[in-house]
Amino acid sequence: MKQVLIRQGQAVVEEVPAPQVESGTVLVQVAHSCISVGTEMAGVKTSSLPLWNRALKQPENVKKVLQLAATQGIVRTASVVQGKLASGTPTGYSAAGMVVAVGAGIEDLQIGDRVACAGAQCAHHAELICVPRNLTVPLPEKLELTQASTVTLGAIALQGVRRANPTLGEVFVVLGLGILGQLTAQMLQANGCRVIGTDLDSKRIAIAQSLGMDVGIDPQEGNSIEQVIRLTDGYGADGVIITAATPADSVISTAFQMCRKKGRVVLVGDVGLNLNRADFYQKELDFFISTSYGPGRYDRNYEEQGLDYPVAYVRWTENRNMAEYLRLIAAGKIKIDPLINATYPIEKATEAYESLKGDGDKPLMVLLAYPQTEPKLIRVVPNPQAKAAGKNLIRVAVVGAGGFAKGMHLPNLQTLPNLYHLQAIVSRTGHNAIATAKQFGANYATTDYQQVLQDSEVDAIIITTRHHLHASMTLAALEAGKHVLVEKPLALEPAELEQITSFYQGSREGKPILLTGFNRRFSPYARRIYQLVQGRSNPMILNYRMNAGYIPLDHWVHSEEGGGRNRGEACHLYDLFTYLTGSKVTAVNAHSIVPKTSHYSSRDNFVATMNFADGSVATLTYTALGTTSYPKEKLELFVDGKVLVIDDYRELILAGVRAKNLKTPTMEKGQKQELEIFAQAIQQGKEWPILLWQQIQATEISFAVEQQLGE
């Protein structure tokens, strides 16, 4: 399918794999989508800036890059950054079309329904989009799809009006008569308000007046503040809604000065916010921020998980705002057609974006149109730059092209051309799949996991999706005869683990290899310690400290998708204990703190102790209470007069041993070595990199700890 991407200051149209419908979503064949002149063009402009300039504007991203360089090295970090820049960014957040597939859990929408869709994470400029239910609304019967494609802009304007809480007969000023200002003026008028509008462009003032705005003020024809005071009998406006976009601080000051005492100002647009106390203090003004489409925006549980807010407590959510905006258009309360300046076919999207550049007259609204023939659900797109696989190489598919895969596994695969050939990239989003395939030289990109399971030229699969998918995807791959390297955790529930265990019951002869990504055991540090404790005469005491760092409790890691940090990350360390002892666990005990505030969780602040059959005792202190400025991980192992210490996988400190310490310039956690050993096991039929019982034991320990943390 065709999709618009923003790359280096240009809008480009590319062929990408079509998305799959998912649980809680609908698959929509787009008829029209609306280009946001403000938001999207700002993104286009930013993408054209040189890296140093972007760094000044986005210091938070610079920090992430520096952290990555510190742990992964400059070369790998440069590869990640360049790959992201070259791949392009999906754009668009407002569209309308027809439902062509319905995911599990959706009961009130059917195939063939006409809908409008919102969301910068999903309602892209593309022929097919997969949209969660709470970001989708059915259309009134007579509403045109062209009009409905403006739904997101309408919901944004409507939320701004709701924040202002206008009442019948009040006077409101709209600062900035771009598309949001035009819609805001009409909504205020529909609400029974007298509306004054102003803009630097006299043509936009004229358009707003032709659509019913009471008074237009041209700033070039006199002081706009004085005119508002005059028009309101000397009192000032009851409220001002700012829909302008400018870095200047003067707009916010002007808004305050236009208001009467006890008035209110609502910020919808993006303006400078250096506030002058004198502008609002004496009048005791109220200043409100309007957040995008309304309540639910930026709430993952609402948008992605489909959890609605009860009407009795939140009357107007973003979904209900979207629906009400469409009703207002259908009822003739809001006129959209005069605001649509042009419609371009998707093939000419580049031309459409070019029309919005420059400092001259700009269209208020531009739409993209899409073919309405029977949709072709093409979910495999070949990479024309790919090379054929060499002889005796392992042909691998990487499933889940997120940050970890692109920052770790894929660069490592590139350094192992004598072992691997990258056959396919699988991602839930088509633009990410094809961009990643091109960056790393895969034969093809797809959004269909079944494709790689059925591909006879795929020997092995690396699974790096979100945690809740690991077990089911692993079992499907094993049953398809593919070797599997699945990132931790192997499973989140005992029943899932039992299914995988059952697959290997009886003889494992001829069955594919399973490797859970417990990479720390493959690090040069863990390997060295393993050698040094062989032949020991006594049990060991192992103390591991994981200064994990705080992750907000609404992050997906803590959700059902992530399974929590014990099952999702601490399982690494349960495997390391198993590896170093080589012994079966006999007892597991876990204790967590009881936080005094809801900021912290007991489930990522705990101490777990394991007893092993050889008499060894291992203790893990896992905490999110500390600062990330302190090193993350440390292992202390005591045995036979020796002390062996791994310090953050940068240094091995040995005491009581006639051997040299080990130190590396960057963290070495064993990910590359893991791939090397996995390949050797496949090619040479060697013993599994991690014995099955050890993979199962590490996972079962995580279950035991999780159960005790919940008691």
Question: Does 674 fall in a domain?
Answer: yes
CATH number for 18: 3.90.180.10
- Structural domain containing residue 687: 519-709
- Whether 509 shows a pLDDT value over 90: the answer reads no
Same domain assignment for residues 121 and 133: yes
Question: Does 384 fall in a domain?
Answer: no
Judge contact between 266 and 237, C-beta under 8 A: no
Q: How many CB atoms lie within 10 A of CB 95?
A: 32
List, for residues 227-281, the tens digit of each pLDDT value.
999 999 999 999 999 999 889 999 999 999 999 999 999 999 999 999 999 999 9
- Which of 369, 402, 425 is where one domain is finished? 369
Beta strand pairing call for 585-592 and 606-612: antiparallel
pTM: 0.89
Same domain assignment for residues 465 and 360: no
Q: At what angle do helices 524-533 and 571-581 cross, to 10 degrees?
A: 30
Same domain assignment for residues 697 and 554: yes
Helix %, strand %, coil % for the chain, to 5? Answer: 35, 25, 40
- Whether 295 shows a pLDDT value over 90: the answer reads yes
Report residue 270: phi and psi, to 5°.
Answer: -120, 105
Q: In 488-555, which residue ranges form alpha helices assigned H by DSSP? A: 494-503, 524-533
Q: For residue 453, which of 423, 419, 414 has the smallest C-alpha distance?
A: 423
Residue that has been written with the tokens 């300039």 in this structure: 53
Distance CA 545, CA 190 (A): 62
- Whether 507 shows a pLDDT value over 80: the answer reads no
Angle of CA points 538, 539, 545, to nearest 5°: 135
Residue that has been written with the tokens 């494709």 in this structure: 451
CATH number for 537: 3.30.360.10
Same domain assignment for residues 215 and 130: no
Q: Which of 48-57, 182-191, 474-483, 674-683 has the lowest mean pLDDT?
A: 48-57
Question: Does 353 fall in a domain?
Answer: yes
How many residues does this entry show for the chain? 711
Residue 590 three-state SS: strand
List, for residues 612-632, the tens digit of each pLDDT value.
999 999 999 999 999 999 999
Judge contact between 637 and 541, C-beta under 8 A: yes
Same domain assignment for residues 682 and 667: yes
Residue 460 three-state SS: strand
Q: For residue 241, which of 314, 165, 339 has the smallest C-alpha distance?
A: 165
Query: Can you list the positions of beta strands (E) in 403-522?
Result: 420-426, 444-446, 460-463, 483-486, 514-516
Same domain assignment for residues 34 and 84: yes
Dihedral angle over CA of 295, 109, 147, 179, nearest 10: 20
Residue that has been written with the tokens 């799959």 in this structure: 20
- What SS3 string covers 237-277? EEEEEECCEECCCHHHHHHHHHEEEEEEEEECCEECCCCCH
pLDDT band per the 50, 70, 90 thresholds, residue 52: very low
Beta strand pairing call for 89-90 and 2-7: antiparallel
Residue that has been written with the tokens 């059915």 in this structure: 138
- Whether 467 shows a pLDDT value over 50: the answer reads yes
Q: At what angle do helices 179-190 and 202-210 cross, to 10 degrees?
A: 30
Same domain assignment for residues 552 and 699: yes
CATH number for 407: 3.40.50.720
List, for residues 158-171, the tens digit of each pLDDT value.
999 999 999 999 99
- Which of 472, 489, 516 is where one domain is finished? 516
Same domain assignment for residues 313 and 398: no
Kindly tell me the burial class for residue 81, based on how many C-beta atoms sit within 10 Å of its own C-beta (0-12, 13-18, 19 or more).
middle
Distance CA 82, CA 439 (A): 9
Average pLDDT over all residues of the chain: 93
How many domains does the chain contain in total?
4
- Which of 269, 289, 309 is where one domain is finished? 289
